[in-house]
Amino acid sequence: MASASLQEAVSVLKSTNVRMTPQRHAILEFLHSSMSHPTADDIYKSLEERFPNMSVATVYNNLRVFKDAGIVKELTYGDSSSRFDCITSDHYHVICNDCGKIVDFHYPGLDEVETLAEHVTGFEIEDHRLEIYGTCPACTKMSKQ
């Protein structure tokens, strides 16, 4: 399920008769290289040079394909546009309320939460999502000046 490398992601796709196109490869590549959890538009803009004719629809289409294949995750915060992230390992995000900066945060799984939720609610739990909000060091410094 977790696809650590770009190659893994590609082979996951191959196994579900999804063709590997240059655009798809570029989007995946960008997602893997980027540490910044980009929006669809970020991706579109950053590939504009290499693919002058690429449509925004292609970005959205493929992000959905990747999501369905389980190699990419969609993150919805308050700020209107979704952000996308390769699924690599179990980590959470710490988000700055001021500047929006996102920092990865590793934390031993919250499996017990899922187990408990299953017992209490009767749901079949599949996943969970945890985010932590605060002020990043830079913004804290700024506000104290």
Partner DNA sequence: AGAATAGATTATAAGAATTACAAACAAAGA
Partner DNA sequence: TCTTTGTTTGTAATTCTTATAATCTATTCT
The binder of DNA chosen from 6, 29, 39, 110 (CB under 7 A): 39
Give the x/- contact pattern for its own copies in 76-95, rule: CB under 8 A. Answer: xxx---x-----------x-
Q: Is 139 annotated as a binding residue?
A: yes
CA atoms of 105 and 90, how far apart (whole Å): 9
**Residue 137 touching its own copies (CB under 8 A):** yes
Backbone angles phi, psi at 84, to 5 degrees: -125, 150
CA atoms of 136 and 36, how far apart (whole Å): 15
Contact 30, 47 (CB under 8 A): yes
CA atoms of 69 and 9, how far apart (whole Å): 9
Nearer to its own copies, 19 or 106 (CB): 106
Shortest distance, CB of residue 128 to its own copies, whole angstroms?
4
Cα 96 to chain centroid, rounded: 17
**Residue 131 touching its own copies (CB under 8 A):** yes
What's the token pair of residue 93? 């995000």
Q: Is 128 annotated as a binding residue?
A: yes
- Binding site per annotation, positions for Zn(2+): 96, 99, 136, 139
Instruction: Enumerate binding residues for its own copies (CB under 8 A).
Output: 74, 76-78, 82, 94, 96-97, 103, 105, 107, 110, 113-114, 116-118, 120-137, 140
